[in-house]
Chains A and B, each alone.
Chain A
Amino acid sequence: MEYLLTNTEWFLNWGRKSSIWYLLFASACCGIELMQAGGPRTDLDRFGAVPRATPRQADLLIVAGTITYKMAERVRLLYEQMAEPRYVIAMGSCANCGGLFQGSYSVLKGVDKIVPVDIYLPGCPPRPEALADAILKLQQKMSAEKWLRNLRA
């Protein structure tokens, strides 16, 4: 039984991690690198990661760039609109901790103040390959999940 569960879970996790649809949401400089990451040289589509314009169908929220207080509420709303299971990558210094704008009066100091972050990605901005690396690490994380067994327990 346990064996069966584990294998089913592996299979389901495989399905989840093999098609990460990320939300088409670029707030600042990192957005350009996010764009380039979807572009020809670093092709995120290889890993089955395609952009979706609507949060309902997105699994991954890549917070690419600075989030101001005025924007923060909207980001949280976007996160709320996404369907479980949902993941967040904080891309770039600004999303990690405010980065070079930590001293500013209107910038949110790190996106993990409003949404739970799964992967922190350093760089200002990180190059597209770094984003691909972050997504691969997120896949590792997803494949290690034990949600089915936790459900049973």
Chain B
Amino acid sequence: MSRYFKNISNSVLSILEGMTVTLSWMFRRPYTVQWPDKIEKSIEDTLPERYRGLLEVETSLCIGCMACMKECPIECIAVSIERDAVTKERRITQFDIDASKCMVCGLCVEACPTGGLRHTTQFAAADGDIRNLVLRYIEKGSPVAPHAPKGPAPVVRPRGSIVAAKIKNGFSARSAGQAAEKP
């Protein structure tokens, strides 16, 4: 019989106790960071230096050593080099990073000797067409001469700006238009 009343009192008291906890949380500012618009500082800027976001290539620094391509465990980096028949100079004709396949492990960045390949703090690259997720850092038909270490100091764009330019102008133009025909 005593257990009977003990059960009742225990339940009532513990329930009241729990209610005080939840009630006290009613009077606190929420913890939510209202991404993307209602925040003072965009998340990309608050992320730490080591954050591994989308990969980007500063082509002016790339020496075309293909170390990243060899290091990647899952072949999601495609670099191709061709030698000009006449001038005998190497040209990087392709530098594709398949963001849709990349597992941001950072092994390729560790392998890069010049720091031309780097992780950014950009992450919002969702797209309606998987083909847009292949980040082409060298456009077709515009090959780039590899960076010579003893040459003039190359101009290095700020980290994240390259890939940001690639993923911004993208979505609404490509995918939404394509989706417009959906019945």
Contact = CB atoms under 8 A, between A and B. Distances in A.
Do A and B touch directly, given a CB cutoff of 8 Å in the complex? yes
B32 A137 contact: no
Interface string A104-143: 0000000010000111111110110110111011001100
Contacts of B129: 120
Contacts of B12: none
Contact of A129 (B123, B127, B176): B123
Contacts of B36: 129, 132-133, 136
A119 B128 contact: yes
Contacts of B133: 96, 120, 122
A74 interface: no
A122 B33 contact: no
Interface in B95-146: 98-104, 123-130, 133
Given A112-B130, A121-B126, A144-B179, A93 B100 contact: yes
Nearest to A89: B126
A120 B127 contact: yes
B43 A129 contact: yes
Contact of A102 (B34, B74, B130, B179): B74
B interface secondary structure, majority: loop
A34 interface: no
A144 B32 CA distance: 29
Contact of B32 (A43, A118, A122): A43
Nearest to A45: B32
Interface in B156-183: 171-172, 175-177, 179-183
Nearest to B131: A120
Chain A: number of interface residues, binned into ranges: 35 or more
Contacts of B74: 99-100, 102-103
Contacts of B130: 96-97, 112, 117, 120
Nearest to A91: B126
B31 to A, nearest CB: 4
A40 B74 CA distance: 34
Contacts of B125: 121-123, 130
Contacts of B31: 40-41
Contacts of A102: 74, 101
A46 B34 contact: yes
A103 B43 CA distance: 34
B34 to A, nearest CB: 7
Contacts of B175: 119, 137, 141
Closest 10 CB pairs of A and B: A134-B126, A133-B124, A124-B103, A96-B100, A122-B99, A40-B31, A100-B103, A43-B32, A121-B126, A141-B179
26 contacts: A42-B32, A42-B33, A93-B103, A96-B101, A97-B98, A100-B74, A102-B74, A118-B128, A120-B128, A120-B129, A122-B54, A122-B133, A126-B123, A126-B126, A129-B35, A130-B124, A132-B36, A133-B35, A133-B123, A133-B124, A137-B175, A141-B176, A141-B179, A144-B180, A145-B180, A146-B181
